Structure 1
């Protein structure tokens, strides 16, 4: 198997696994790494609200949300979920793939709210992998954490395919 792992000296930095498409099968059960930190701004939340039409005050009204149940605005759960592909691309680099696609999700939960302005990062392991015509289908167990929050803001099993 041809696999490299880039692990920084500091625990706070990203850790990336680089692997060829055909070698993904050998990573079943392996920890893949973690992404860099990314800030989710109020502008991100407002843009997501505009695109989806979900303008609930807990997301877009900082004054009202300050006295609400979360002490400020929070990101939409689906915004948090939509960050996973970009975060996962920092964790798992697949060489030799002509195409990578999001194929689905098996399970998604939002155990804690994500406050606007927070830093998030993802960690992932490979929960499963199987050959499919032209490539590999894999399931990544992904946890998205917010800096300073004891519980994850999203836990999901993401199904993706890499085609050669």
Structure 2
């Protein structure tokens, strides 16, 4: 876990890979909960028997499930000391470049592309997040994520 002690420290990391998260495992229960929450009950996600005979040879996680892991990857990888709140500000670009079979282990590489101060006491950051699947040389998701942080020291 990387800890920034000020926004100035964050700003000094523009253009650098700042963190690599720990691995997390994608389970069928997690995929089913996501399907239930979103209403996306596509059989390639929720029917392991049918999915085993399908195009991926196993059930796969929803692309949006993979994307929804970004806040978890951020929270487990770095912190800004004194922050009172961080918020998701949106996405500029997202690509799902490879499937995520259930049972896969994923991690994220986070590169700070840009950062700027926003009023009254915030910092907006643009992160290139590359989600990797253990054992694969191709990422499963590449996203440009915008995040805002409020309340940390200058």
TM-score normalised to structure 2 length: 0.93
Structure 1 stretches lacking a partner, 5+ long: 1-15
Q: Is 1:60 matched up with 2:46?
A: yes
- CA shift at 1:135, angstroms? 1.4
SS in 2 for 1:27: coil
Matched residue, 2:76: 90
- Give CA-to-partner distance per residue, 1:97-133, whole Å, 9 cap, x none: 1111011111100000000111111111101000100
Matched residue, 1:153: 140
Q: Is 1:19 matched up with 2:4?
A: yes
- CA shift at 1:17, angstroms? 2.4
CA distance in 2 between partners of 1:117 and 1:86 (Å): 18
Q: Tell me which moved more, 21-30 or 76-85.
A: 21-30
Contact 1:25 1:136 (C-alpha < 8 Å) held by counterparts: no
CA distance in 2 between partners of 1:91 and 1:126 (Å): 13
Contact 1:21 1:136 (C-alpha < 8 Å) held by counterparts: no
If asked which structure has higher relative contact order (CA below 8 Å, sep 6+), I would say 2
Q: Which runs of 4+ in 1 moved over 3 A?
A: none
Contact 1:33 1:123 (C-alpha < 8 Å) held by counterparts: yes
TM-score normalised to structure 1 length: 0.88
- CA shift at 1:31, angstroms? 1.1
Over aligned residue pairs, what C-alpha RMSD do you find? 1.0
Matched residue, 2:125: 138
